[in-house]
Structure 1
Amino acid sequence: QGFLRAIGEARLITPLRSEGGHRRYSRYQLRVAARARELVDQGTPIEAACRIVILEDQLEEAQRINAEHRRAAESANPTAAA
């Protein structure tokens, strides 16, 4: 719980709140937190770990978008892919 609060303070994740004020985390947020914990356990400062996780997430998203564009281009011009 303390680690989740710390990465929340570092603005890596922002939990939703229940009506009673309890923090609620999505599965995605918990995966992100687990990756940050892994980096911190390896000796990376928490701020750097948060930045690394953000950059990894951005890279993954960019690669997904590139793959979609590539598939769309291949569908539009199937002879160019051959």
Structure 2
Amino acid sequence: MASENRPTQTDRLDDDDYPAYTMGRAAEMIGTTPAFLRALGDARLITPLRSAGGHRRYSRYQLRIASRARELVDQGTPIEAACRIVVLEDQLDEALRINEELRRGRDDAPAAGTP
């Protein structure tokens, strides 16, 4: 009998962080080369997980990050600068998300002195 806490195959397909794609498939999906994905790994923008055989495996989230870096590089941005821009954009998105959560929490809180 399967445990209710164990992820199913369907759960993994819905998981943005599940390393589902091989390097070749990942490169094909975002229209780049495996060398570009390796360069992003060397720049520490994305760190693919490794299969039992040692092959790089990428998640959908990593592919979105790599795709954004590719857009910037295609526009003439050096790869190191593109990686830094992507990191800063990701940090800004996270800060805005946290800010919105805090704002909602403050708006939902009862006013001081209200039972």
The normalised TM-score by structure 1 is 0.93
| Residue among 58, 66, 71 paired with 1:38 | 71
State how 1:12-27 maps to structure 2 within 5 Å. 12-27=45-60
Q: Once the two structures are superposed, what CA deviation does each residue of 1:11-38 show, in whole Å capped at 9, x if it has no partner?
A: 0000000001110111100000000000
| Residue among 86, 98, 103 paired with 1:65 | 98
The Cα of 1:77 is off from its aligned counterpart by: 3.6
Q: Identify unmatched segments of 5+ residues in structure 1.
A: none
Which structure has the bigger radius of gyration?
A: 2
Distance 2:65 2:110 in 1: 38
How many residue pairs end up in the alignment?
78
Q: Identify unmatched segments of 5+ residues in structure 2.
A: 1-33
**Are positions 1:11 and 2:40 aligned together?**
no
Distance 1:22 1:32 in 2: 20
Q: Which has the higher helix share?
A: 1
The normalised TM-score by structure 2 is 0.66
Distance 1:56 1:77 in 2: 34
Match of 2:10 in 1: none
